[in-house]
Each structure stands twice: as C-alpha cells, then as structure tokens.
Amino acid sequence: MTPKRKKKLVLLLIALAGLGIAVGLGLNAFNQNIMFFFSPADVVAGKAPYERKFRIGGLVEEGSVQRDQQTLRVTFKVTDGGGSVAVQYEGILPDLFREGQGIVANGTLGRDGVFQAAEVLAKHDENYMPPEVADALAAQKAAESVKN
Amino acid sequence: MIPEIGHYALVLALCIAIIQATLPLIGAQRGIPSWIAVAKPAAQAQFFFTLLSFVLLTYAFVTNDFSVKYVASNSNTQLPIQYKISAVWGAHEGSLLLWVLILNAWAAAVSWFSRSVPAQMTARVLSVMGMVSIGFLLFTLITSNPFDRIFPVPMDGRDLNPLLQDFGLVIHPPMLYMGYVGFSVAFAFAIAAMLGGRLDAAWARWSRPWTQMAWVFLTIGIALGSWWAYYELGWGGWWFWDPVENASFQPWLVGTALLHSLAVTEQRGIFKAWTVLLAIFTFSLSLLGTFLVRSGVLTSVHAFASDPERGVFILMFLLVVVGGSLALFAWRGPQIKSHGKFELMSKETALLVNNILLVVAACAILLGTVYPLILDAMDLGKISVGPPYFNFVFIPLTAPLAVLAAFGVLARWRKTDFMDILKRLKLVLIAAVVLGVLWPLSVSGGVNGDLTLGAVFGGVLAAWVMLSSAYIVYDRARRKSDLLAGFRSIPLAFYGMTLAHMGIGVFIAGVTLTSLYSVEKDLRMAPGDVYETNGYQFRFVGTKGHNGPNFHADRGTVEVLKDDVVVMTLHPEKRIYTVTRMPMTEAAIDPGLFRDLYVALGEPVGQGDAWAVRIYHKPYIRWIWLGGIFMGLGGILAASDRRYRMGAKARRTAVLKAPAGGAEARA
C-alpha cells in the first residue's frame, strides 16, 4: 500500500467510525425520547408503566375540573368511556381546554394512580379530535358493542 | 353563477394543463418546433384561468356569498375585510387553490423570464410543471372543490378560525407555498435535463436563480410561521419540533444542500447526479409536507379536521412523483458523467461535507417525524418523539456546518490548504472566542447567574460565523488598491452568500441566548401583585371587559416598572369569538432588539379578581427571525446577480475573460 493510499484508508476509517458513533448516539436518543400513548382504559387496566413518560388522551370528564384557589394547580379526569384517570397539572391550560373537550397530556403516572402532566395539549379547531383520542374512543365503543 | 364560473375556470385550467404536459414534451423529444411553441402560451393561459378562479373565490368571500359551502364554513359578515380575503386560503380547499395558483405563477414566470434558455429546454420544464399541475388540479376538483354549493343557504357563516385572524397568518401560508412550490421549478429543470440527456453547467446555471428564490420564500415562510407561533399561540415558544414544522423544515434543509451543490455543478461540472437527486428530494419533501399537513394524520397545532380520502390521494401522487422521477433517474443516471478531479483538501470536499451534514440532519428529522406514523399505520402502537431527540441530533449535525462555513468560502477549487486558511483566520478566531464568552455573560448579567458551557459554545459559534463572514468580504476588497473600489468589485452573489451566512450567525446567537437565559413564569396574580425579574417589575393592575368587532375580551393591564418608574403598560387579552365561541389568548409583547417582555393571561383563579398570568423575559429572541431575514435578503441578492441575466452570448465571452481567481468569487 502506498503511503497516499494508507492515508486515504485511515481517513475513511475515521469517517466510518465517526458515522457509526453518530448513528449509535442518535438512535439511543431516539429510543429515550419515544413516548408511548395509552388510553385511560389501558391505564386503568394497568397496562401503562409507572414513572416513565407517556401520553394519555381522552375527553375531559364533565364536572371533574377542580382548580386550586391559591395556586395554578388543576386536577381533572380524562376518560374514554372505558376508564377514567385523574390528572394533575400546574400551570396555564391551553385556550381550548374545557370539560367534554378531547385533550392529550404528557407526563408520568404516579404510584397513587394520578397522572402528573407536564404538558396539556388541546386543539385549535372545534371539529378536530386528536387522532389518538378518536381511535381510543372508537376502540372503546367497539369493545362495548361486543359485550352487548 | 359566479362560483360556477370559478369552477369552470379550474376545469379549463386542467384541460390546458393536460395539453401543456404532453404536446411540448413530445415536441421537444421529436423536434417539432410548433409543438414546442405551445409550452409558453399554455403556461400563461393556465395561470390566467387559475388566477380567475382564485379571484372569483375571493369575490365570493368579499360579497358574503354563503351559498358557497367553503365561504359559509370560513367566513362571517362580521369578519373584518382583510381576514375575509385571507380566509380564502384559511382552510383546506382554498389553500389547495392557492397551491395551484402559485405553481402556475411560477410556471408563467419561467415562461416570461427564460429567454436565454433554449426553447426545447423550457418546453420540457413547463411540461413537467404541467404534470404536477394536473395532479393538484385533479386533487382540487375531485376531493376538495372550493366552489361546492350548500343548500339551504345559511344566514351567516361559521367564521374563520380565530387563530387565523391575524396578520402573520395572512402572509405565512402564501410565503411557505411560494417556497414549497418554487422547488417544483428546480425539480422540473432536473427532470427536463434528464429527459433531454443534457446535464451540464448551463443547466445548473439556469436552475440556480429559481432555486435561490424558492429557498428565499421558504426561509421567510418558516421564519414567519415561527414568529406567528410565538405571539399568537400564547405560550411564547418559537419552535416546537412539531411534525408540521418539521415538514416545512426538511425541504429547507435539503433545499439548502441543493443550493450549495448547484454551485459546484455550475462552477466545476461535477456532483451532477447528486444535484439531480437533491432537486428531486427537495420537491418530494415539499409534497410530503403538503401531505402531512393536509391529510390530518398528525397531532399538531396545524392539524385540522379533514377527510381521509384526501390523504390517500396526496400519498398516491407523492408515490407517482417520487417513483417516476427515481425511475427516470435509474434509466438516465448512468449516462450522467461528471468530469473534473479534486483533491481531498478542496472547496469541493468542503461543500460535499456541507451537503452530507444537511442531508443527514434532514434524514434524522424525517425519522423522528415519520416513524410514529408508520408504526401507527401498521398498528404497532402509538408513539411520539419528543423535542429532546431533535435537539440532540440536530445541534451536533449543524454546529460543524457553522464552523466550516468560513473555511468553505475561503477554500479554493481543486486543491486548497486548510491550515493556511486557519492561519488567515487566526485573529478572527481569537476575537470570536473573546466575544463568545463576553456575550452570554452580558445577558446572564448576574440574574440567571451561570455562564454555561452551552452558552459559551453557542456564543463563540455565532461570533465566529458573523466575524469570519465580515472578514472574508474585507479580505476580498483589500486585494484592490482602493478599498472602496474593492468593495464595489465584489459581485452581488458573493454579498448575498455572506449576508445569508451572517444570518446563520445571528440566528445561532438568538437561539442560544433565548433558550438559555429566558425567564418564564406562570403566576397567580391578584390586582396589585408584583413580580420582579431582570430589573423589571411587573404589576398586575386588573382586567376589564372590552368588545372587538367579532369578539368579547377580558383586557388585562400590567404595568412594567424600572427603578420604581412605570416605563410601559401592557394589555394582554383573553378573547371569546362570538360566532365560534372559541377562546383565544392575545399576548401583549414589548419587542426589543435585545429582549422581549411577554405577558399573557391564563384564566381567572379563585374568588376575587386574581388571574393566572404568564410573564416572560426573553433576551435576543428577535435575532432568531432577524437571522431569517438576513438569509432571505442574502438569497435575493444572490439571485439578482447580473450573470444570471446576461444573454447566452454575453456570458460566453464573460467566461473567457474571467480572471483566474474568478472561480472562487463565483462560489
């Protein structure tokens, strides 16, 4: 091997190693930032993990929203008809958050069964339902009709 | 009657598009001049009819013609006139019409401004654009006709989504579409060149100004979207790595790579196949973006209720475009030969690295955006990918770009010595390091305390890009005996490139300082309560009722004090739009070059007059969009360089006369 070729080979190997490390790190980051979605029925059935971030979505249960008088803490329940999960959030809720509205929240499920939301998303279009919520509601409806 | 004429005009446009897509192409392949000559008038006629259709839809909005379903769903008699006009592209059907209109405007522009391009080439380009137009016109007419009537005719319309009743949203979609669709010109040039079997430097030169202008529009469009999200969504963020944002950012990244590789292809006649692929992918990603936004498969602030049939149509169209053009590439690709050699250490390599980094960054974002969709489509579970992933992969991939920009600009074609360039830039580097430390320090100013490694890294990077860009211009001007004459001798394209690179630096400074030193507080405030940050005291005075043209509002008053003196009064609002019953947060912002003060109202808390109040202090946030403006202006300067406007003959002589150092100048 001529010295020139050797130099090229070394450069190529360095580039490949760099690429490998980059891809590895990237995929690792990807893995750690994946958030799964669970419907309230899944959570009630114990399918969701504790203390790991995930997303939950459903309708805000009528009459369940309780605001703290002195802080910005809010608790409410999300439901898909098959189960209902208490959610706690501290901060300012989005404009379209209200009872009966479909929302998606991300955060972690505590051992006490209360979902601590880090972020609550409601959509900006009246007719719009987050796809996950729509699917969860449809799945629940289907399950019920099978039971009947 | 008027809406039917609009509909009819669209059908006519479709007929013309079919002619435009076929006759000139066959003419160009077989060498029939009269068929080739059809291309330009067809493109102009198609533009005329889509424009007519668009104007008639606008007319229906302005005259409150609620017998048209689209108008009834998106307008209202109380809606202010400027929003009646922007409501034309406020929802799915109309925004598709805008898409088609802009596509035809670009095609008409090609027919007007391509006198120096051979007629055969123009015919092929317009043919390809005609094919794209057929797809979108069919889509509009079959699945989303904006002229559909409704019966019984409602008394009043359902009003425009309040989020869209805003200046930013009046201009954001047209700009973005100008960018998306503009890349169809670059795409059409690439396909036309493959069809004609003529891929040379001239092809790259013809397509360069078009690509640059499309890139300018996309840049401005994305920046406008970010600005709008910041002040209108009421949570003060400027980028969320939201799938729809990503959808517009992917074509931008690949389009930026395309700009740089076109430069290599034009100057050196190499990277040809790669450039063609980039042109195909840029436009395909634009289509993918349209698909993602318009199909309703995404959970995003941009996702609106829509019909699954539409998504399938765009997906099929996307497959035809990508599949067809890649098949053409597979067939013609082997004939594309690049001549010219270059050493490992050369400008070519620098630009290659630029391209690789940009494309890999785009792929990483694509993975995070599309993977959840694929998983969902295959019923393997619902996941989403969080912003930390995007930050983690994006920053390490793009930071080297910022470091290398100056080296790339200073490098010579064929062979260069990077150590020598480093020596020339030694002083700039030292200055950048000093400034990069002092800058974040001046912002953190003891309030937020720490000078983090990230802040220094971002600061040095920003200072490096800006200072080295300025130095490079000075360095070039210095070669002439008279500095002023030196500055005058530098071509516009070079100034454009420098300005765009500086924009990157300004952007990095904005991102770094805003992300690391913003103060964001959600508080419960009763009248009289005070919150202090960064030397400002925010005093919540209270709220009052207030009526707008089509909304009621709670209007808050927040006094901002500096050293116990009131320096300004901010009025954030919480609006309820009367027709849609939609609540909207209207933040009050005091903008500044070095900091924004941002106050928004949440909801009333508890008894009494206490409210949830959001108070932000955001240093340097304007620099993020200022960077975008710099990039846009740079692109315009570059596209208006006179060498694109010279006739073919004049160009040939100019190339012969160009001095030896000219090649570097024209990068």
Q: Average pLDDT per run of 10 along chain B, which is 667 residues long?
A: 94 97 94 94 97 97 94 90 91 90 96 90 96 94 91 87 82 92 95 87 90 96 92 82 88 96 90 92 91 64 54 83 93 80 86 92 90 80 84 90 92 88 92 92 67 89 96 90 88 94 96 91 91 91 90 93 92 88 88 93 84 93 96 94 61 42 36
Q: How far is B139 from chain A (nearest CA, A)?
A: 22
Q: Which among A33, A127, A128 is the nearest to B389, CB-wise?
A: A33
Q: Are residues B137 and B37 in the same domain?
A: yes
Q: How many domains does chain A have?
A: 2
Using the structure block, give the residue that is written with the tokens 């964001």: B520
Other beta carbons within 10 angstroms of residue B305's beta carbon come to: 13
Q: Of B134, B165, B196, which one is at a domain's C-terminal end?
A: B165
B392 shares its domain with B495: no
CA atoms within 13 A on the CB side of B42: 30
Residues B36 and B28: their CA atoms lie apart, in Å, by 6
Judgement on whether residues B500 and B577 belong to the same structural domain of the protein: no
User: Is residue B74 located within the same domain as residue B130?
Assistant: yes
Please tell me the distance from the alpha carbon of residue B54 to that of residue B52, in angstroms, as a whole number. Answer: 5
Instruction: Identify whether residues B245 and B364 lie together within a single domain.
Output: yes
**B177/B92 same-domain check:** no
Task: Give yes or no: residues A71 and A110 share one domain.
Answer: yes
C-beta of residue B50 within 8 angstroms of C-beta of residue B101: yes
Cα–Cα distance between B2 and B68 in angstroms, integer?
A: 10
Q: Do both A99 and A27 map to the same domain? A: no
A71 touches chain B (CB under 8 A): yes
Residues A10 and A70 in one domain: no
∠B400-B190-B667 over CA atoms, to 5°?
Answer: 40
Question: What pLDDT is recorded for position B305?
Answer: 43
- How many other CB atoms are there within 10 angstroms of residue B559's CB atom? 15
A29 and A66 within one domain: no
**Element spanning B409, H or E:** helix B387-410
User: Do B643 and B631 belong to one domain?
Assistant: yes
Q: Which residue has the tokens 């116990």?
A: B564
| A135 vs B contacts (CB less than 8 Å) | 382
**Best B166, B349, B360, B389 residue to mutate vs chain A (most A CBs within 10 Å):** B389
Question: What is the model's pLDDT at position B293?
Answer: 76
Minimal Cα–Cα distance from A92 to chain B, Å?
A: 6
At residue B522, φ and ψ (nearest 5 deg) are -100, 125
CB of A44 closer than 8 Å to CB of A140: no
d(CA B596, CA B589): 7
CB atoms within 10 A of CB A51: 9
Phi, then psi, of B652 in degrees rounded to 5: -60, -45
Contact B156, B77 (CB under 8 A): yes
- Pairing type for strands A115-122 and A66-67 reads unpaired
Number of domains, chain B:
4
Distance CA B195, CA B331 (A): 10
Among left, alpha and beta (phi > 0; psi -120 to 50; other), residue B220 is alpha
In this complex, which of B297, B367, B605 lies closest to A67 when CB atoms are compared?
B605
Q: Are residues A30 and A54 in the same domain?
A: no
From chain B, the residues in CB contact with A70 under 8 A are: 524, 606
- Put simply, whether B556 touches A (Cβ < 8 Å) is no
Domain that holds residue B258: 170-417
Residue B255's nearest CA partner among B152, B337, B146, B179 is B179
Tell whether A61 and A98 lie within a shared domain. Answer: yes
Query: Do residue B636 and residue B498 come from a single domain?
Result: yes
Specify the range with the lowest mean pLDDT, choosing from A113-122, A126-135, B290-299, B411-420: A126-135
Looking at the complex, does the CB of residue A14 fall below 8 Å from at least one CB of chain B?
A: no
Sole residue written with tokens 């609006």:
B575
Alpha-carbon span B100 to B90, nearest angstrom: 15
Q: What is the dihedral of CA B294, B298, B301, B305, to 10 degrees?
A: 50
Measuring CA to CA, how many Å separate B114 from each of B53, B178, B265, B344, B644?
26, 19, 20, 37, 10
The pLDDT of residue B654 is 44
Report which DSSP code applies to B334: G
Query: Are B375 and B440 in the same domain?
Result: no
Given this model, what pLDDT does residue B303 score? 47
Using CA of residue B215, residue B220, residue B226, residue B232, what is the dihedral sign? negative
User: Cα dist. B28→B15, B125, B162, B239 in Å?
Assistant: 20, 10, 50, 46
Preferred mutation among B293, B299, B300, B601 to probe A, highest tally of A CBs within 10 A? B299
If asked whether residues A2 and A70 sit together in one domain, one would say no
Q: Residue A95 and residue B364: Cβ atoms within 8 Å?
A: no
Q: Are residues A24 and A45 in the same domain?
A: no
Judgement on whether residues A26 and A61 belong to the same structural domain of the protein: no
Query: Any idea of the CA torsion for B348, B350, B355, B361, to the nearest 10 degrees?
Result: 170
Question: At B587, which amino acid appears?
Answer: A
Q: Where are the alpha helices (DSSP H) in B113-152?
A: 119-143
Enter the ipTM: 0.81
pTM summary value: 0.90
Asked if residue B551 lies in contact with residue B537, where contact means CB atoms within 8 angstroms, the answer is no
What pLDDT is stored for residue B660 in this prediction? 37
**A1 or B553, greater pLDDT:** B553
- B220/B210 Cα distance (integer angstroms): 16
Residue B496 sits in the same domain as residue B397: no
The answer on A98 and A110 residing in a single domain is yes
* Domain with A127 in it: 36-147
Domain termination site, one of B133, B150, B165:
B165
What kind and span of H or E run contains B48? helix B39-62
Closest residue by Cα to residue B516 from B443, B446, B597, B463:
B443
Whether residues B386 and A130 touch (CB distance < 8 A) is answered with no
Distances (CA, A) of B155 to B86, B94, B111, B421, B532: 21, 22, 45, 71, 51
Interstrand relation of B573-577 and B551-562 (parallel, antiparallel or unpaired):
antiparallel
**Dist CA B274 CA B279 (whole Å):** 9
Residues recorded for chain B = 667
Q: Domain of A64: which CATH number?
A: 2.40.50.140
The DSSP element (H or E) to which B14 belongs, if any, is helix B2-30
Q: Is A126 near chain B, with CB under 8 Å? A: yes
B562 forms bridges with which residues in the sheet?
B565
CA distance B37 to B120: 9
- Residues from chain B that touch A52, judged by Cβ atoms under 8 A, are none
In this structure, the answer to whether residues A91 and A124 fall within a common structural domain is yes
* Contact flag A8-B344 (C-beta cutoff 8 Å): yes
Residue B499 near residue B488, CB atoms below 8 Å? no
Residue B57: name the closest of B112, B17, B2 by CA. Answer: B2
Q: Are B308 and B356 part of one and the same domain?
A: yes
Interchain contact, B602 vs A72, CB within 8 Å: yes
B606 touches chain A (CB under 8 A): yes
CA distances from B624 to B219, B223, B497 (A): 12, 8, 18
Cβ-based contacts of A92 with chain B (< 8 Å): 235, 522, 600, 602-603, 612, 614
* Distance (Å) of CA B385 to CA A55, A139, B289, B364, B488: 11, 23, 18, 12, 50
| Residue A3 preceded by cis peptide, ω within 30 | no
Q: Are residues B29 and B91 in the same domain?
A: yes
Contacts of B375 in chain A (CB under 8 A): none
Torsion of CA B179, B184, B186, B192, to 10 degrees: -170
Task: Determine the 3-state secondary structure of B147 from DSSP.
Answer: coil
Beta strands in A24-129, from DSSP E residues, in sequence order: 34-38, 54-60, 66-67, 73-79, 84-90, 102-109, 115-122
Do both A18 and A90 map to the same domain? no
CA distance B54 to chain A (A): 25
A138 close contact with B: CB closer than 8 A: no
pLDDT at B543: 92
Torsion of CA B562, B625, B303, B72, to 10 degrees: 80
Mutate: best of B169, B599, B605, partner A, most A CBs <10 A: B605
**pLDDT on residue A148:** 58
